[in-house]
Chains A and B, each alone.
Chain A
Amino acid sequence: DAKTTQPPSMDCAEGRAANLPCNHSTISGNEYVYWYRQIHSQGPQYIIHGLKNNETNEMASLIITEDRKSSTLILPHATLRDTAVYYCIVKGSTLGRLYFGRGTQLTVWP
């Protein structure tokens, strides 16, 4: 699985968009980009995933660059409850395991 690089921490004002970047320059053609978050010591929560097209769901949007070497998770209107560690994970379709790095600690302030 390709390795990802994320900033260790970011902050964002409540109500503003939070844009979390991720670099995955060695991603292979069949590997998807997944985003999870972990609030305190709870279980990782799935947010969104994509292959090459941009994706949007009720939680967030995922923007993947055309060369697929980086992506951005967008939380359009961050709330205090979005304070969490956000993980960007690249995974192929054959192996089941998810490799979690250190992620980005997002702090949303009032």
Chain B
Amino acid sequence: EPEVTQTPSHQVTQMGQEVILRCVPISNHLYFYWYRQILGQKVEFLVSFYNNEISEKSEIFDDQFSVERPDGSNFTLKIRSTKLEDSAMYFCASSDQGGNQPQHFGDGTRLSIL
């Protein structure tokens, strides 16, 4: 069964450094998403992406964050200058259409900021 894959599984970064989290969505999917989950808290939406542009973003997704689909397969989340509070699990998801089609999630990248 096709799945969303995320790399790396764990990323350790010094505060203030840039970090790029990578995702390979399911191949025929057109809608892409990033969520995060701080330890012990709820899963929170960050951003959705369709047709090479952001279609929706949350208040968490500020100027420090950006997303890109650099080629036909990868979908990336960049954090420009990491803060301690960016430490979390980051989940990528994709769906083959918007609307009512379900989103399928990867197993996440654990980001630890020191």
A87 CB contacts on chain B under 8 angstroms: 43
B102–A99 touching, CB < 8 Å: no
* Chain B residue contacts of A59, Cβ below 8 A: none
User: Is B91 an interface position by the 8 A CB rule?
Assistant: yes
Task: Write out, one digit per residue, whether chain A residues 28-44 have a CB within 8 A of any chain B CB (1) or not (0).
Answer: 00001010001001111
- Residue from A43, A96, A100 within 8 A of B42 (CB atoms): A100
B48 and A97 contacting across the interface, CB-CB below 8 Å: yes
Given A100-B42, A100-B43, A43:B105 Cβ within 8 A: yes
A101-B104 CB under 8 A given contacts A44-B91, A96-B31, A96-B56: no
Given contacts A97-B48, A97-B56, A100-B43, contact A43 B100 (CB under 8 A): no
**A54 CB within 8 Å of chain B:** no
Q: Does B98 contact A (CB under 8 A)?
A: yes
Near A by CB (< 8 A), chain B positions 66-114 give 89, 91, 93, 95, 98-100, 102-108, 110
The complex places the Cα of A36 from the Cα of B79 at a distance, in Å, of 27
Partner of A97, one of B50, B58, B110: B58
- What is the bound-complex CA distance between A102 and B107, given in angstroms? 19
Stretch at the interface among A17-25, A45-53, A71-79: A45-53
A80 in the interface (beta carbon within 8 A): no
User: How far in angstroms is the closest Cβ of chain B from A32?
Assistant: 5
- Further 14 A-B residue pairs, CB within 8 A, beyond A97-B45, A100-B42: A32-B100, A41-B37, A42-B108, A43-B91, A43-B107, A46-B102, A49-B100, A49-B102, A87-B43, A96-B56, A96-B95, A96-B98, A96-B103, A97-B33
- 17 pairs across A/B with beta carbons < 8 Å? A32-B100, A41-B110, A43-B91, A43-B106, A43-B108, A44-B43, A44-B105, A46-B105, A49-B100, A87-B43, A91-B100, A93-B99, A95-B56, A97-B33, A100-B42, A100-B43, A101-B42
For the complex of A and B, list the 10 residue pairs with the smallest distance between their C-beta atoms, beginning with the closest.
Answer: A43-B105, A100-B43, A97-B45, A96-B48, A93-B99, A46-B102, A43-B107, A44-B105, A43-B91, A32-B100
